[in-house]
Amino acid sequence: MIAAYEITLAQAADAPAIAALSRDAIERGLSWRWTERRVLRAIRDPATNVAVARRQGVLLGFAIMQYGDDEAHIVLFAVEASQRRAGLGAAMLAWLEATAVVAGMRAIRLEARAGNAPAKSFYRRHGFVEYGASPGYYEDVEDAVRMMKRLDNAA
Ligand SMILES: CC(C)(COP(=O)(O)OP(=O)(O)OC[C@H]1O[C@@H](n2cnc3c(N)ncnc32)[C@H](O)[C@@H]1OP(=O)(O)O)[C@@H](O)C(=O)NCCC(=O)NCCS
């Protein structure tokens, strides 16, 4: 069965769930920086999109993407652990890419933890390539790989 997700811009009321998912799925082993307050700031920032995916009203994933002049940057991206490998990440990424194309972005960049094999595999599958590394990027606990996808040649 194909699960139906609703992907929309986040509301202020989503901030606690987004912050909790960031803490548990992304920032584990690091300081919790994406608190509810910071997520709220992102929701209100006109140069940032905070997207949420829901099924039957339940928040199952979120993504935060910032827009520059001609490139976008995925800052955070997570799917609830119990919902992974079911296409939700792909659906959210497609939503982000579509909005980036509409906004005239030429590329999307992101950082991932060097040891995060699932995330690297996920992004590679969707056309991102690794182009660099940042030693100690995550509080000197872990290195980052930098990845990007050009949107110029998108069909
Ligand atoms: C990375 C993440 C967002 C992927 O979301 P998802 O909903 O599972 O992704 P999808 O189901 O759309 O895509 C799955 C594809 O990604 C790749 N992938 C995802 N998890 C993988 C894993 N554990 N091992 C290998 N490949 C994986 C595969 O190509 C997979 O396709 P397949 O299931 O047909 O083999 C999710 O694992 C997650 O939230 N991880 C924790 C947070 C995180 O690491 N965020 C990214 C860095 S900020």
Say which CATH number the domain at 84 has: 3.40.630.30
AA letter at 125: R
DSSP-derived pairing of the beta strands 142-150 and 129-138: antiparallel
- Average pLDDT value for residue range 62-70: 97
Q: Residue 1 domain-assigned?
A: no
Q: Is the CB of 114 under 6 A from ligand 1?
A: no
Q: What is the pLDDT of residues 2-47, one digit of tens each?
A: 568 899 999 999 999 999 999 999 999 999 999 999 999 999 999 9
Q: What is the pLDDT of residues 90-111, one digit of tens each?
A: 999 999 999 999 999 999 999 9
CA pair distance 63, 59, nearest whole angstrom? 12
Q: What is the pLDDT of residues 133-144, one digit of tens each?
A: 999 999 998 999
Give the domain extent around 19. Answer: 6-150
On the question of pLDDT at 155 being above 50, the answer is no
Quick one: how far is CA 14 from the chain centroid? 15
What does the pLDDT read at residue 137?
Answer: 92
What does the pLDDT read at residue 2?
Answer: 53
Neighbours of 44 (CB within 10 A): 10
Taking the centre of ligand 1 as the mean of its atom positions, its distance from the CA of residue 151, in whole angstroms, is: 21
Q: Candidates 84, 110, 120, 147: which one to mutate for ligand 1, based on the most atoms within 8 Å of Cβ?
A: 84
CA-74 nearest atom, ligand 1: 48
Q: Is the CB of 119 under 6 A from ligand 1?
A: yes
Q: Residue 131 domain-assigned?
A: yes
State whether residue 49 is helix, strand or coil.
strand
CA pair distance 47, 106, nearest whole angstrom? 16
What does the pLDDT read at residue 153?
Answer: 55
Q: Residue 155 domain-assigned?
A: no
State whether residue 147 is helix, strand or coil.
strand
CA pair distance 42, 57, nearest whole angstrom? 22
What does the pLDDT read at residue 9?
Answer: 98
Quote the number of domains for the chain.
1
Instruction: Tell me 82's DSSP state.
Output: G
Q: Which residues pair with 64 in a beta bridge?
A: 50, 76
Taking the centre of ligand 1 as the mean of its atom positions, its distance from the CA of residue 121, in whole angstroms, is: 7
